[in-house]
Chain A
């Protein structure tokens, strides 16, 4: 699987409150509507202009803060194809995988990508290609990859339970 998209580049510690404000956490339940508020308090252009398969590139600790899964959901439904960061906050990492949103942890790539440029990510090869070159990233652990491949945790659990029932 590979994706190609425009880069939206941000800094360190992009937190879940600016990705998806707390005031919406119990009032907005439709993922498409969540997408309209993605990064609302941080980059007001993002939700209006983001295109399918666009890539977010960020520094350290992306997604720190609240456990709200909508932070991953809103980006997924806004069309984001992957997030590349130096590191991810723990719960956000889980939430993104569980929403079927691929993550790439690659410090070197982050340092070499500029905002607005078109970047290609080949998940099978573990390669990210941008203007400044090709960067390798390690694959996700097998158990985590399985969730991503199934399109997220809910379809994954559904599949696993069906397999067990069939035995």
Chain B
């Protein structure tokens, strides 16, 4: 039998000839990412009793979760991180004017196919879109890696998800991944590697693949993975000249499960409160009143997302009952969207353009909700209290569904608008 991507890369990174699923291996990661949680990690690191981080070149620290600082406490947190970065001479530090970690790691050329990336953030699964093995870990683990350059990982079984058919009008990668999560459930891929493949994936741009891998963790997956192809190579060529070796599952690899989807008849999808797997076709929630609409985050804040949203909003005004917040995922996205006139279109429609960062996604600042309010968001989580208020509701959808809904002040099926 052949081997899966997960088995091959974990064998390589643990220095073994081969590994089997379920085996626990000790690996040395290529990249370790932490963000606003770096100050807390630094404190844990100091508790270990050593002063110098082992491989500063592996460390990447973007500030994104509450930027610019909302309060004195957040400001102090950022200050401590900047001091630690200086003290340890960490080169790959990205301050508040850069963007969301999961957008800027690929943008700055840190993500390579065949690399092992660990991050103190659950959506670290995003980089699987480039053929990396990347997953989230906790704060203590980052501190421990800084000290030892090692961590244990269990070799996961792999679920292969084939996505075939033809994408209908009004349906986007976000709708596809919401549909899959709704179908498989919040633990449908618990501890598993999820390999996305099929015609739809081949046709999908890098931005869409990032959306899929970003949300793989919402069904419990350890990693999401897309086999690198010509699109990946071209995208990376603009970002880095580092050499890399692509790792792919063998044709006769043993998958735990192969699941087939045909998206030809798929409707736009909406995840309803308060779980990501509470997914319904948009037709079932049409008419739900919204108070706030959000386009952005590490799931859907890329140029492609802002572009399709602006095409819906062009020349029209959002409902006066709705606040539309737009968070470009990075400063690069912000600048490109400005040059292309996308931001102007959005502003004319009534949107508030915010700075790149996580915004209110995790309830820290910049547009948290009041009791009884409803937000339709392009983010990846809608748990109770997620956007700062436990008596508020969060629905999740594609940038296009969010844009069209902001015009009407209620959840709207874009397909009625396209005709």
Q: Which residues of A approach B to under 8 Å, CB–CB? A: 12-13, 15, 17-18, 21-23, 25-27, 29, 41-42, 60-61, 64-69, 72, 87, 89-91, 94-95, 98-99, 141, 143-144, 152-154, 156-158, 160-161
Is B187 a contact of A87 with CB atoms below 8 Å?
A: yes
Is A61 a contact of B137 with CB atoms below 8 Å?
A: no
Bound Cα distance from A21 to B384, whole angstroms: 9
Q: Which residues of B contact A18 (CB under 8 A)?
A: 383-385
Is B363 a contact of A154 with CB atoms below 8 Å?
A: no
Nearest Cβ in chain B — how far from A105, in angstroms?
11
Bound Cα distance from A114 to B47, whole angstroms: 40
Is A26 a contact of B385 with CB atoms below 8 Å?
A: no
Given contacts A13-B275, A91-B136, A154-B48, contact A64 B187 (CB under 8 A): yes
Bound Cα distance from A158 to B49, whole angstroms: 7
Given contacts A27-B73, A152-B140, contact A161 B381 (CB under 8 A): no
Nearest Cβ in chain B — how far from A153, in angstroms?
4
Is A41 a contact of B385 with CB atoms below 8 Å?
A: yes
Is A154 a contact of B44 with CB atoms below 8 Å?
A: yes
Residue of B nearest to A92 (CB): B138
Q: Which residues of A contact B124 (CB under 8 A)?
A: 67
Is B148 a contact of A98 with CB atoms below 8 Å?
A: no
Indicate which residue in B147, B190, B364 contacts A161 across the interface (CB closer than 8 Å): B147
Residue of B nearest to A141 (CB): B24
Q: Mark B89-132, 1 if CB is under 8 A from A, else 0.
A: 00000000000000000000000000000011110100000000
Is B186 a contact of A95 with CB atoms below 8 Å?
A: no
Is B363 a contact of A22 with CB atoms below 8 Å?
A: yes
Indicate which residue in B140, B277, B364 contacts A154 across the interface (CB closer than 8 Å): B140
Within 8 A of A (CB), among B212-267: 220, 222
Can you name 27 A-B pairs with beta carbons within 8 Å? A12-B187, A13-B187, A13-B275, A13-B277, A15-B275, A17-B363, A18-B384, A21-B363, A21-B390, A23-B368, A23-B388, A25-B362, A29-B43, A41-B385, A41-B390, A61-B220, A66-B362, A67-B122, A67-B124, A95-B140, A141-B24, A143-B24, A144-B152, A154-B140, A157-B144, A157-B147, A161-B148
Given A98-B141, A154-B48, 12 more pairs with CB closer than 8 A: A12-B186, A21-B385, A25-B65, A26-B37, A26-B74, A41-B385, A61-B190, A65-B381, A67-B120, A153-B141, A156-B144, A161-B50
